[in-house]
Amino acid sequence: MRIERIQPFLVGRSLLVRVYTDEGIVGTGEAGLWAHHPTVYRAVEELSAYYLGKDPTRMEHHFQVVSRNTHFMGSVLSAAMSAMDIAMWDILGKAVNKPVHALLGGKVRDKVRVFANVFGATLDEFAESARQQVAKGFTSLRTTPMFRDFEKETPTKVIKDAVAIVGAIREAVGDEVDLGLEIHRNLTLNQAILLAQELAPYRILYYEDPLPPESIEAIAYIARHVDLPIAAGERSYNLQQFKTWIDSQAVAMVRPNLSLAGGFTQVKKIAALAEAAFVGVFPHLMGSPVNIAAYTQFAAATPNFVLMESFNADTHPLNAIVDRPLTLEGGYITVPEGPGIGLDIDESQLERFPYIEMGIRGNFAADGSVAH
Shortest distance (Å) from residue 61 CB to Mg ion? 32
Nearer Cβ to Mg ion, position 168 or 285?
Answer: 285
Quickly list H helices, 97-212.
100-103, 123-135, 155-173, 189-199
Is 284 a known active-site residue?
Answer: yes
Question: Between residue 234 and residue 263, which ones bind Mg ion under the rule CB under 5 A?
Answer: 234
How many angstroms from the chain centroid is the CA of residue 254? 11
* Alpha-carbon distances of 8 from 171, 224, 237, 276, 281, rounded to whole Å: 47, 43, 20, 36, 29
Residue type at 235 in one-letter notation: R
CB 245 within 8 A of CB 180: no
* Alpha-carbon distances of 213 from 186, 209, 218, rounded to whole Å: 11, 7, 9
Catalytic residue among 184, 225, 316, 372: 184
Question: Between residue 82 and residue 141, which ones bind Mg ion under the rule CB under 5 A?
Answer: none
Nearer Cβ to Mg ion, position 94 or 113?
Answer: 113
Per-residue x/- mask for Mg ion, residues 196 to 235, rule CB under 5 A?
A: --------------------------------------x-
Question: Between residue 19 and residue 78, which ones bind Mg ion under the rule CB under 5 A?
Answer: none
Catalytic residue among 37, 62, 101, 284: 284
Nearer Cβ to Mg ion, position 30 or 234?
Answer: 234
**Based on the number of CB atoms within 10 Å of its own CB, is 330 exposed (0-12), middle (13-18) or buried (19 or more)?**
exposed
Residue type at 220 in one-letter notation: A
Shortest distance (Å) from residue 182 CB to Mg ion? 5
Shortest distance (Å) from residue 32 CB to Mg ion? 12
Paired residues of 208 in beta bridges: 182, 231
Shortest distance (Å) from residue 209 CB to Mg ion? 5
DSSP summary character for residue 201: G
How far apart, in whole angstroms, are the C-alpha atoms of residue 130 and residue 188?
27
Nearer Cβ to Mg ion, position 178 or 234?
Answer: 234
Is 37 a known active-site residue?
Answer: no
Residues in the interface with Mg ion (CB under 5 A) total 1
Shortest distance (Å) from residue 64 CB to Mg ion? 30
Q: Which residues are catalytic?
A: 184, 284
Residues that bind Mg ion (CB under 5 A): 234
